[in-house]
Amino acid sequence: MHPLQKGLLRLAEKHDLNTMSLRDIGEMLELEKNYPQKIKHHLDQLVRKGLIKRDRKIAPVSAGWNQHKSFFSLPVLGCANCGQATSIARDSLEGYLMTSKGFFSDLKPSENMFALKAVGHSMNRAKVGISKSSIEDGDYTIVDESKKTPNDGDYILSVIDGYANIKKFVLDENNGRIVLLSESSSDLPPIYIHEEDAHDFMVNGTVVGVIKRPNVNLERKDA
């Protein structure tokens, strides 16, 4: 996140930015040069990312239900690779998904949940949750970070050597190992973790749901 956006978020937590001019905001942030348009640009970026909202006042968005209990804000914490562990795990907040309560018909939303954008097609035959949803490139996976002790057959977000991946967790007790399986239309090899090396393997949570990417072209075309 841009340093100016971080400063604006901190300022919005303490002040109503709607009552301040762009120059006033610049002075409070102690900018060496006061660029009102630059401040406006980064405010717009924060709105676009879903990190602040503009209503009667400018205020940061936070995880959880809105005041009418009709929408739940899921923090987006980056991407996870669904193939080999090649996508770097990121713990920085990138924005929020505003989701209506219908998405949680088979889940109980909580502040322990966050979203990750899936990269790759190697879990496109997964069957997550009651809806048995697959995980395809561009989908958002819902991860419950309170569930870090998976059951055999769960879909998990794990980090190996600093790289995040989504796989099916299989506990192979007969051979003293953990197997992380891809469920894909392609023939992809599993990841094997010996029981003696389990300390190098970290489960960040269990995948409990999937929000499918829109099946439309969202790119704007010039007239």
Per-residue pLDDT reduced to its tens digit, 58-75: 444 556 677 667 788 888
Per-residue pLDDT reduced to its tens digit, 6-49: 888 788 877 777 777 888 888 888 787 667 778 888 888 887 77
Q: How far is CA 114 from CA 53, 120, 178, 193, in A?
A: 19, 19, 25, 26
Q: Is the pLDDT of residue 160 over 60?
A: yes
Average pLDDT over residues 137-158: 92
Q: Does pTM surpass 0.85?
A: no
Number of neighbouring beta carbons within 10 Å of residue 49: 16
Q: According to the model, what pLDDT value does residue 168 have?
A: 95
Cα 131–Cα 179–Cα 206 angle in degrees, nearest 5: 40
Q: Is the pLDDT of residue 100 over 50?
A: yes
| Alpha carbon distance 96, 77 (integer Å) | 9
Q: Is the pLDDT of residue 219 over 70?
A: no
Residues facing residue 80 across a β-bridge:
118
In the chain, what are the domains? 3-60 (1.10.10), 64-211 (2.10.109.10)
182 — pLDDT class (breaks 50, 70, 90) = very high
Q: How far is CA 107 from CA 61, 91, 162, 176, 207, in A?
A: 22, 23, 29, 33, 12
